Structure 1
Amino acid sequence: MKIINKLLLATTTALAVFTFNSCEESNTVVDEVFDNTTSGAVVRTVRIISDELPIGQSDSNFSVEVEVQTKENGSLVQSLEVYITFNDNTIAEGGTDYSSSEELVSTIPSSEFYTGEFGLPRYTYEITLPEMLSALGVSEANVDGSDTFAIRFVAVMVDGRRFSNGDNSDTSTGSFFRSPFLYSSTVVCPPKAPSPGTWTIEMQDSYGDGWQTNDGNGGDGITITLNDGTVIEVGMCSPYTAAAGTFLGSGDCSPNDGFTGTATFEIPAGTTSADFNFPGDQYGEISFQIITPFGNTVADVGPNAPAGPITIDFCKD
């Protein structure tokens, strides 16, 4: 049964995190990645600080804190290289595709790393939208909401070997040990007052058992916090009895067939801001789209999205 598998997975994940934190020499996630290999490397995401790029704001940036991990506590990595690519997702019919080739924009020597809470090297990387445009030779006039920049890290070893997203395993992309090497930063319009009226969230679950967000059986829903303090919560109901006591096990979640569900909510006239937040995706099965009263999709989120603010494309509202 799925619930048994999920409980076992949740227990295994908890044990893996506990073991990693206790610095044991075996049965850790690091050991699983590096066993039977020759001193590989991963770059773990500690936190994504900013991945929205508002047009017209010189300080809009992509920033992330990463942790370098190798068999020798990160010392086998001599530098991190950062490459970026622009993806033009708003090509008019018959228009020009302004997408770029990948370019190296930064080389970060290990001397600039600092020590994190687990005694491993960390680095906080930041690059602004103007810096990315300049490096790629792309004009801001050719950038619009929903366009994206890909930011790719390469760990360069002291012996010259290189590790990046093509070397990932299922283990290194798990929830605690998330090591994608590759990030996407979305161009958005500066925030504005949301359109009043009925908004819709179309929700999907690829496994077919409703949503499990920040809980193995249920959890919280997507929250929308209005400027007057009103908090709206939506999400696909979970069928598991153990979800009781969470929003997704309550009578306020959205009924569904396991695979798809729909929720609507009202944003009153006069609302000046609406902050959308996603609680997380426990098993990498959740996707959803946020649609304005005019029928425009302003967010399209796929599986494995991290918990945190949802990027809203105000260009389309």
Structure 2
Amino acid sequence: MKNIKRYLAIAIGVLMMACSADDKIIDQVFDTVERGLILRTVNTISSSFNIFDTSSEWGVTLEVQDKENGNLLQEVRVFVSFVDNTTAGGDLSTGENLIVTLTPADFTTGPFGLPRGDLTISYAEALAATGIDFDDVEGGDQFSFRLEAQLTDGRVFTNNAAGTVASGSFFSSPFAYVSTVVCPPTVPTPGVWTINFQDSFGDGWNDAALVVTIDGEATSYTLDNGASGTTTFTVPDGAQEISIVFTSGAFDEEVSATVISANGNTVVDISPNPPVDAELLDYCLNNL
């Protein structure tokens, strides 16, 4: 019985020592580990700029998270740079410039009790901040945004800071974003459009065709036989969108064609072996 009591006392002592050691480790972690801040991406408002509309906006909804429920935030600085992905006329890419600074006043309390706010930047603002001329931007170019969050103690967190969560769903906090300049479909000129077909072998398009889609309604046009031919279609008044794609046939290496808009512009000019199921209209030209 004495041995049992002795062993029990030893076990309790060891357990108490272990708990004490664990408590010290936990206390040490809380005392020595430095915690920072993340800017969680709650929602993407818009991921691109419309090349034809300088009022179009890129934007995200941000949520501030830190150990004081967002109260450690002093400001968020937003920098922008231009990335020239179409460098035929020379690379016009720029370095970073400060475009806007957010303060705690720009955030309101969100559903989790944390500060939330929308960060939106217009195409015009991005052009002005980078010094890029409107006419020098082409579809596919990009504006890069980098965020710096400064805490009240002076520490700064950005996309190259330790602890940044660059991926994931709920806790996505990249501190960096890209807005691509896109060319959305433009309104087509109403009236009669013309398709001129050619076939180098002289036996028609052999099941190849041009598929014209106007406001969601698709019609196929082809050259049934011969070396050349012409057909027309009508874009009605009020039509908002047109698409033209090529569908493959037996001898795509023989086919070519042009499409002429009702305004007289040649808007499609394909050579043998045209791209299959790809948009043939270049919306960036804004010539429909």
Tell me the TM-score normalized by structure 1. Answer: 0.51
2:57 is aligned with 1:88 = no
The structure with more radius of gyration = 2
Do 2:215 and 2:242's aligned partners in 1 also have CA atoms closer than 8 Å?
Answer: yes
Query: Which runs of 5 or more structure 2 residues have no equivalent in the other structure?
Result: 1-29, 189-208, 219-233, 244-269
Aligned to 1:156: 150
1:1-317 equivalences under 5 Å are: 37-92=33-88, 95-167=89-161, 169=163, 173-192=167-186, 197=210, 227-228=215-216, 273=241, 294-295=274-275, 314-315=283-284
- Cα distance in 1, alignment partners of residues 75 and 110 from structure 2: 17
- Cα distance in 1, alignment partners of residues 73 and 164 from structure 2: 22
Do 1:298 and 1:316's aligned partners in 2 also have CA atoms closer than 8 Å?
Answer: no
Do 1:152 and 1:182's aligned partners in 2 also have CA atoms closer than 8 Å?
Answer: yes
Letter in 2 for 1:177: F
Do 2:164 and 2:173's aligned partners in 1 also have CA atoms closer than 8 Å?
Answer: no
Task: State the identity as a percent.
Answer: 40
- Cα distance in 2, alignment partners of residues 83 and 297 from structure 1: 39
- Cα distance in 2, alignment partners of residues 60 and 197 from structure 1: 32
Deviation at 1:176, TM superposition (A): 1.4
Could you say what secondary structure the match of 1:44 adopts? Answer: strand
Query: Which runs of 5 or more structure 1 residues have no equivalent in the other structure?
Result: 1-33, 199-225, 231-268, 276-292, 300-312
Query: How many equivalent residue pairs?
Result: 190
Do 1:41 and 1:69's aligned partners in 2 also have CA atoms closer than 8 Å?
Answer: yes
- Cα distance in 2, alignment partners of residues 98 and 72 from structure 1: 43
Aligned to 2:9: none
Could you say what secondary structure the match of 1:166 adopts? Answer: coil
Aligned to 1:30: none
- Cα distance in 2, alignment partners of residues 120 and 158 from structure 1: 17
Letter in 2 for 1:99: S
Summarize the Cα distance change of 1:171–1:108 in structure 2 as closer, same or farther, 3 Å threshold. closer
Deviation at 1:191, TM superposition (A): 2.2
Tell me the TM-score normalized by structure 2. Answer: 0.56
